[in-house]
């Protein structure tokens, strides 16, 4: 079963941005069961949204979309990747005393969002190609 990347992208954007509340975004990485529950809820809404855009209600597709999303969000793997490659770091930008601190914060947020989206889309695209 081949999926159209444009449909994957639209499902991703709606599920990760339009349907993710501020509380989901802030609490999904909290330690413990509450953080797990928030990330589970967000990832399930996300997976269902992508499946609606793909017009696929196959349980395997839902599971694969969920499994590509949950770990990336739960453990904020884009942040870990950026630290590993010594890329932009939001925490360092906030703590900076540099006169361009605000620009650094904004740019760090943008770089994080691009890294996170890239990870989600690449992983989901290749996993969905195998089914």
CA pseudo-torsion sign 113, 94, 40, 119: positive
Q: What is the mean pLDDT of residues 37-54?
A: 97
Which pLDDT score is estimated for 1?
63
Which pLDDT score is estimated for 88?
82
Which pLDDT score is estimated for 30?
97
* Lowest-pLDDT range of 49-58, 64-73, 80-89, 91-100: 91-100
Averaged pLDDT score across all residues of the chain: 93
pLDDT at 64 over 90: yes
Cα angle 105, 85, 125 (rounded to 5 degrees) comes to 90
Q: Which residue has the higher pLDDT, 1 or 36?
A: 36
């Amino acid at each position: 079963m081949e999926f159209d990347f444009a449909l994957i992208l639209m499902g991703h954007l709606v599920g990760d941005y339009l349907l993710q509340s501020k509380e989901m975004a802030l609490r999904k990485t909290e330690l413990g069961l509450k953080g797990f529950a928030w990330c589970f809820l967000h990832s399930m809404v996300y997976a269902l949204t992508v499946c609606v855009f793909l017009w696929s209600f196959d349980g395997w597709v839902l599971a694969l979309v969920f499994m590509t999303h949950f770990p990336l969000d739960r453990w904020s793997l884009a942040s870990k990747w950026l630290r590993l490659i010594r890329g932009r770091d939001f925490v360092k930008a906030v703590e900076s005393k540099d006169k361009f601190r605000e620009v650094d914060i904004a740019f760090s947020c943008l770089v994080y969002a691009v890294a996170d989206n890239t990870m989600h889309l690449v992983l989901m695209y290749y996993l969905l190609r195998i089914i």
